[in-house]
Amino acid sequence: MLSLEDVREAAQRIDGVAHRTPVITSRTLNERVGAEVFLKAENLQRIGAFKFRGAFNAISRLSPEQLTRGVAAYSSGNHAQAVALAASMAGTTAVILMPEDAPPTKVAATKGYGAEVITYDRYTGDRTALATALAEERGVALIPPYDHYDVMAGQGTVALELIEEVGQLGALLAPVGGGGLIAGCATAAVELSPGIRVIGVEPEAGNDTALSLAAGERVDNGVPHTIADGQAIPIPGELTFEINRRLLAAVELVSDDEIRAAMKFAFERLKLVLEPSGACALAALLAGRIEDLPDRVGVVLSGGNVGLERFLELLG
């Protein structure tokens, strides 16, 4: 299982490589929700999202022989960019499987970091099976976007940094896609801040983790149609679900319109550009989804990879 020590070791590996992202506060936000809110701005991380932490941590643990052969990954965009950059920094090559309808800015950025991109239809293809076959065919190491302990440990450094900087929290909100970010964060947070409630947030259409927790087992909800492309996951990860079912206090759902409202608030009042998935946890806070809100709340703004055209389309 994942431990706080794993997260601390990951923090040492990424130190000086990943950005120690700022914590943003807003009096306007505090007054609106009735709590002291600390926003961990992972939209300002390298490649524009928290994913760099896990990708770099995982790739840094590969053997010299594995690095000589290269790595593979599958992703709708942020993990793709993270693996591409981390692979380049490690002096190896990367091949990334991405959906045909992935945001063009994310595809362009992934190629810009030097990776080879292969596309597939996310609504008919099994990306895990396709990527596994691709990695085996080429003899390279597969770096999954969330269902991997080294990846989760790297993502957990988000909560580690936040709590080290601001102290004890009553609740921590983070978006949930495959579950790697919140699994890593929960692992660190429950140890560092006893009594904390770690709350996941999903888009209404992509509520596979909420359904799975209610059922007591992983539920395949199909690929959801939501503006939060980073959370368009049909089923929670196998490893992440086992951690999250133990550590999460709740999973709340937000609508696409509430995500848009959070993006607008972040842009106008916080001067931050967030992609839909990056605004998901903030959306739950602004929409009043969290019952018995504690006095001190942490929120992970997970990413900001949205092109100008798409940003205007979403908020126009």
DSSP-assigned states of every residue in 93-154: -EEEEEETTS-HHHHHHHHHTT-EEEEE-TTTS-HHHHHHHHHHHHT-EE--SSSSHHHHHH
Dist CA 14 CA 7 (whole Å): 11
* Residue 268 a catalytic site member: no
Of the chain, the end-to-end C-alpha distance in Å amounts to: 45
Q: Out of 6, 42, 70, 76, which one is annotated catalytic? A: 76
* Residue 76 a catalytic site member: yes
Question: Quick one: tokens of 5?
Answer: 């020590």
Length of the chain: 316
* Residue 88 a catalytic site member: no
Q: Out of 278, 302, 303, 304, which one is annotated catalytic? A: 302
* Residue 5 a catalytic site member: no
Q: Out of 147, 150, 208, 229, which one is annotated catalytic? A: 208
* Residue 202 a catalytic site member: yes
**Do residues 247 and 183 make contact, with C-beta atoms less than 8 angstroms apart?**
yes
Q: Out of 6, 42, 48, 51, which one is annotated catalytic? A: 51
Q: Out of 202, 252, 258, 275, which one is annotated catalytic? A: 202
Closest CA to 262 of 18, 32, 5, 4: 32
Q: Out of 70, 77, 180, 206, which one is annotated catalytic? A: 206
Catalytic residues: 51, 76, 202, 206, 208, 302
